[in-house]
Structure 1
Amino acid sequence: MMSSIIPKSKAKGTDICAFNNYYYIIRSDLGRYMQTSDLNKGSDISIFSLHPACQNGDHYIGGDSYFHIIKGDSCRRVTNLSTDKDAIDFSLHHKCRGGDHYFASVGYFYIIFQEKGTYIKTTSMYENSDPREHSLDPDFKNGLYYWGPPHCKQTSDCFNFLKPDISVSENAEFCTGPDLSKNKHTAVDSVHPNVFNFLIGGLSVNKGPGTGMWEKIKRCFLCHYCITNKELLQN
């Protein structure tokens, strides 16, 4: 059987988002998250503990000032995922509930409804102020993860998504584009293996079929992000 990455829809508490100058990969099942300044180069990788109150979210959204963690119809806003600092909880506006993917970019929140092929663009998820609904380009409909690039300077949409159908025969890739409604001026980059391995299923894609087990260690001798993995091959 060919290995593949586990989509966010089947991996609760897992997500990709961006905050200030960094990208973040959230792994609630490990109680950890990865920080990197470049998904393609795997630069400046660090691993941090994920505060219990910040674990098991349905969606994680970054931005310039806050992380937003959606659980059901509620959202928790924090400034630090390790300490749960400055935590505030609020209810989502009814039009902002039930999305398949959430991300923030250029002062807006984006909520993607994959089956409907639409997305909502709003400046507030609890007031649903200035809501705008748009059609989602069919080529962007089936992303495994969506997130807004850090410090995007576009005046319109600016987004990333992890391409679907990743297998051992392909390189893991993510797309960057200026408009979710049109497949126009879209760039494609590969994901660095050290970053991709941190996603659920990433080890199996890069190392071959098997069960990946992450083990925390106090000192790191084999890798530069303070954890190592062991492949337990299935008999």
Structure 2
Amino acid sequence: VPEHGIGTETLKSRLHDLVREQRTGIVIAVDHISEPESIQAPALVDLFAGLPSNVSWLAIGRDDPSTTELTRYTAESISIDRYQRQMLVDVLMTRTSNGLAQQGLDHGQARHIADWADGNAHDALAALFIAAELAEERGQDRITQANVDAAIAEVPDPCVSLGVVLSLPTNRQTVLRELIDLEESERSSVTATTEAIASAQSVDLSAGTVKRFLYEMAESGVVDRVEATVTNGQGRPPSRVEPRFPPTAFRRLYDLQQ
């Protein structure tokens, strides 16, 4: 740690000086605007306030531009349509041919996934991934309709991108990895969930830290706090934590990284 740090304003000034030297100009693109664990529109506007005249920026997100305050600061909005069904079917079949055994998924199942996903490539590919994982667990050489139906049922609506979840700090991913394997009784409340996760051998965190992580991830939208429907009649009903991402897909991808 340096004894005399450099202030933020000094860093900004140096960065602006470097940018001004670029004759061709600079375009800054920021993806996943207003999504969980990402920058929100007001913060982005503040961040880019006062940029040199040769700098342009592009904000990329899923929200309708007309519903955000970004349109007051942008010169133009560009709308990109959802995947058409046949295009999404082609994507699914291409991934299937590259990653699965021959005839591992038939066109009818691909169309079913594409219809359900309604142009959302992330959700469609997540469902395909889960269906393949379920088939492998059962020793099948092909994906069945039952696998597809179970996979679709597992993808939350709305669903947080698996890329967002896998970009979280390691300790938060560890907490989520334990969360998705808990029994229902261990997820009856945030307190019960916290105690179960903190006591796991793979978690080297205090119960207080685990609870803080759960609350922070609930606030950012990675998990949901769902209020219990049954109470003992005393005080506020307890809430439990539910992931907003598909557990099977996250479990497989997380374990592959270990």
TM-score (norm 1): 0.24
> Whose strand fraction is larger, Structure 1's or Structure 2's?
1
> Whose helix fraction is larger, Structure 1's or Structure 2's?
2
Q: Looking at both structures, which has the greater relative contact order when contacts are Cα pairs under 8 Å and sequence separation is at least 6? A: 1
In terms of Rg, which structure is larger?
A: 2
